[in-house]
Structure 1
């Protein structure tokens, strides 16, 4: 309710459908008087009380669910105005014929139709005002907007009920006009004060709020019945109490549980999809293909200059890295020492590639002792790879400093690399190599609340500090 606007068009549709269903059914089942004015008892009078609400409901449907949504999509004002005028003239003519034929009104104008349309147009204008005043970015969230608009729906419904007492018995209009807002009030009261307290384990507070609810609604009628010694208010109070306790609260609680259960499932599935996408993109870009190509070329050149020793060592390290990517990288957690070995192999191969670069200074410190614990694979290498990718220039002075250390139950990485002007051919999407966003998603999935990752950059250097509490 806070993060987005409720689906008010659907809410309004179902509420208005329920209202007109009540009106039409009550008119079908009743005959004779309807409030202040008597209908003719002939057949036209009976069917007028059925068809006029049906016509009004059809007008609402065409306006609210067809014409306005189409206009919001197409922005075609001329077409929208023409259809609205055609609908208004046609419906007004039909309603007027029925009203005069049934002697519902003696005025040359069907005023209840015009008042009904005025209420609907007033509601639309009020909604636009609320959107401008109470929705983000003017407000921090949608909670106030949603609450006020829900209340506005029932306020305008009450106005509508008092304008159509010619079409429905006044008792039905009054009961419906006040019963629907009362039910909404009970639902809101239950959600915020009873349901949420029970959900938080505050059963005593929830029970007190439940007792207060009974004292406010049915208790008032029971008190009046006892004071006046009348049975009707007493029975109404008991009926309302039973309705609240046996129907409204249990059904609304079930609806709340179903709704939040579905929301939780959607969030869980969305999170899994995001993690899956992150892992998939991660697998596709674990090692820069250009690095592998350059590394193999370097090994080939080294093999030409010397007989076998360094070349064999380089090929062995590269093979170990490939095995790591194919096998261990598929696991959720691996020994921390294997992750550090992978980083070490990567650094050795990079140093083999850049050992003759006079403008490059690389200083890295890795743990001298074997680190204990387990870690999600490929969490450390993205920072190191990005440093080599963006911190090296063949023309300018470049430097990379890496300090990786592990303590009891934690691992820490501090990294500094030089920054150079971007090439025109650089892809903006590839600015961060494997991508810090990808790393953050994996950290949130595997280590929520157990890591610290901060990056700072200036004109010449890029700093990374990463700390992780291992399981």
Structure 2
């Protein structure tokens, strides 16, 4: 949900709440339910009017809160955040506080007239009522401003969360669920005609819990998880945060509840157990569940990537089935004609094809078999170049290995590329191949001269079999267990692969 769409939801939600409060107020006119205020007037002997001493002041208070929210949340604070007409908007906020304080002060002189008799002079009573109205207005403006700034801050975080749309979408869903839970509870409190102070307490505690859960899921727990911290560390973090939140919550409660020490106890009674028994376990459970789900998804993606890489690799090779009969025929013909070199080449090619058919599809094969395939390929290519004195092929490939396992067809693309682009029958050229194993680390080096293809050569723009494929397979199958270095200049192409094998 975009910020513009969320603002529409806010407007209609605020309007709905205003209508609900107003409806409850109007529906109480038949029963004259004023919460016992008329008794206060009767006690001090002042005439009481339900309409002027309760209904109108209460409605003015609801209207003032509604209009203040609209003005601050949709006009003044957004303009200040965007740094538009700052002097004018600050002046309008001051004017808003003055007007709302005056309206609430006048309303309170009607709803709390009986309190005037408790002061030595009427003027002192008026001063106290208007001062209380000013405090309440200032607090309301601060709360709405904090809410609006928090909303824009969350929108900023979502917008700049490293482009991770999945995390942004999940955070939006969590916020929407939390706000929806708060609103449903608030609606039930209001429709059940409970004391207004319970709705305030519900709002403070639930919104604090929503904030703690969001902070835990997206900031605190990921950091503690990276540090491999246990649940106890997380618990004490949130415990301290909950204690710190007690101070502003108690200050807010003092403006809505009777100003006694009982307020601190009431807030603590609802706030601390909620955060410790609900927010902490809920956040921990959700985060652990999501980590497990992400791990499973990562594993599935890896397996899918492996399958895709292997499939792409196999597609890039020649399917040997249809070649075997032809190769056997050619091999027999070469022997009959006493073409030994040709027969040897056909035999090696047949061995390579069998390897590709029977072992290339396995996840791991013996390193010995991989080296045999590599030697067959080199020997086959050497048959073509052995008659040229200007072509030098040097190999240093160990033959004795322990029972090491390796993913098939990882090494051959580099050798194939060397023969494809490094050998010229018209110019001096060379290839050097080295393969050694020390401990469980394989060192593989291939260097070759560079011979540019003719413009009409169809192989000029082709890059050999599977360089990109090999890189992808290494990242998937040997992540953090390999090092691939490729260097090229005008005369030489060089590949160095270090691989930790099993």
Q: TM-score range by the shorter chain?
A: 0.5 to 0.7
* Counterpart residue number, 2:245: 217
How does 1:223-234 map onto structure 2 within 5 Å?
Answer: 230-234=261-265
**Closer, same or farther: CA 403–32 of 1 in aligned 2, 3 Å:** closer
Question: Larger Rg: 1 or 2?
Answer: 2
**2:263 is the counterpart of 1:235:** no
**Closer, same or farther: CA 232–443 of 1 in aligned 2, 3 Å:** same
SS of 1:330's partner is: coil
* Counterpart residue number, 1:185: 211
Q: CA deviation at 1:402?
A: 1.1
* Counterpart residue number, 1:118: 75
How does 1:370-449 map onto structure 2 within 5 Å?
Answer: 370=401, 372-424=403-455, 431-449=462-480
1 CA distance for matches of 2:70 and 2:493?
Answer: 70
**Closer, same or farther: CA 411–104 of 1 in aligned 2, 3 Å:** closer
* Counterpart residue number, 2:290: 259
**Closer, same or farther: CA 26–179 of 1 in aligned 2, 3 Å:** farther
**2:233 is the counterpart of 1:205:** yes
Q: Is the 8 A contact 1:221 1:234 kept in 2?
A: no
Within the candidate set 24, 49, 60, 2:16 is matched to 24
**Closer, same or farther: CA 195–22 of 1 in aligned 2, 3 Å:** farther
**Closer, same or farther: CA 194–412 of 1 in aligned 2, 3 Å:** closer
2 CA distance for matches of 1:25 and 1:135?
Answer: 28
Within the candidate set 377, 397, 415, 1:366 is matched to 397
2 CA distance for matches of 1:26 and 1:141?
Answer: 39
**2:356 is the counterpart of 1:325:** yes
CA offset digits 1:332-371 (Å, max 9, x no partner): 1111111111011111111122333454322222224355
2 CA distance for matches of 1:140 and 1:23?
Answer: 32
Q: Is the 8 A contact 1:194 1:209 kept in 2?
A: no
2 CA distance for matches of 1:242 and 1:16?
Answer: 34
2 CA distance for matches of 1:261 and 1:14?
Answer: 31
Q: Is the 8 A contact 1:336 1:373 kept in 2?
A: yes
**Closer, same or farther: CA 434–352 of 1 in aligned 2, 3 Å:** same
Q: CA deviation at 1:422?
A: 4.6
**Closer, same or farther: CA 430–329 of 1 in aligned 2, 3 Å:** farther
SS of 2:314's partner is: helix
**Closer, same or farther: CA 206–253 of 1 in aligned 2, 3 Å:** closer
Moved more, 430-439 or 302-311: 302-311
2 CA distance for matches of 1:19 and 1:252?
Answer: 30
Q: Is the 8 A contact 1:391 1:420 kept in 2?
A: yes
Q: CA deviation at 1:376?
A: 1.1
* Counterpart residue number, 1:335: 366
2 CA distance for matches of 1:302 and 1:365?
Answer: 34
**Closer, same or farther: CA 368–186 of 1 in aligned 2, 3 Å:** closer
Q: CA deviation at 1:22?
A: 7.4
RMSD: 5.3
Moved more, 432-441 or 460-469: 432-441
Q: Is the 8 A contact 2:205 2:270 kept in 1?
A: no
Q: Is the 8 A contact 2:398 2:435 kept in 1?
A: yes
* Counterpart residue number, 2:88: none
Q: Is the 8 A contact 1:217 1:237 kept in 2?
A: no
Q: CA deviation at 1:380?
A: 1.1
**Closer, same or farther: CA 124–193 of 1 in aligned 2, 3 Å:** closer
Q: Is the 8 A contact 1:450 1:469 kept in 2?
A: yes
* Counterpart residue number, 1:467: 498
Higher relative contact order (CA 8 A, sep 6+): 1
CA offset digits 1:22-62 (Å, max 9, x no partner): 763674376355xxxx99979xxxxxxxxxxxxxxxxxxxx
2 CA distance for matches of 1:179 and 1:19?
Answer: 23
With the length of structure 1 as denominator, give the TM-score of the two structures.
0.61
Q: Is the 8 A contact 1:220 1:237 kept in 2?
A: no
**Which ranges of structure 2 fall in alignment gaps of 5 or more residues?**
31-58, 84-148, 180-194
2 CA distance for matches of 1:396 and 1:130?
Answer: 67
Q: Is the 8 A contact 2:341 2:383 kept in 1?
A: no
CA offset digits 1:294-324 (Å, max 9, x no partner): x97xx78993995154333322211111111
Q: CA deviation at 1:405?
A: 2.4
**2:312 is the counterpart of 1:277:** no
SS of 1:448's partner is: coil
SS of 2:473's partner is: helix
How does 1:49-88 map onto structure 2 within 5 Å?
Answer: none
**Closer, same or farther: CA 204–198 of 1 in aligned 2, 3 Å:** farther
CA offset digits 1:122-153 (Å, max 9, x no partner): 599699x999x9999xx99469xx8xx99xx9
**Closer, same or farther: CA 213–445 of 1 in aligned 2, 3 Å:** same
1 CA distance for matches of 2:448 and 2:281?
Answer: 61
Q: CA deviation at 1:399?
A: 1.4
Q: CA deviation at 1:400?
A: 1.0
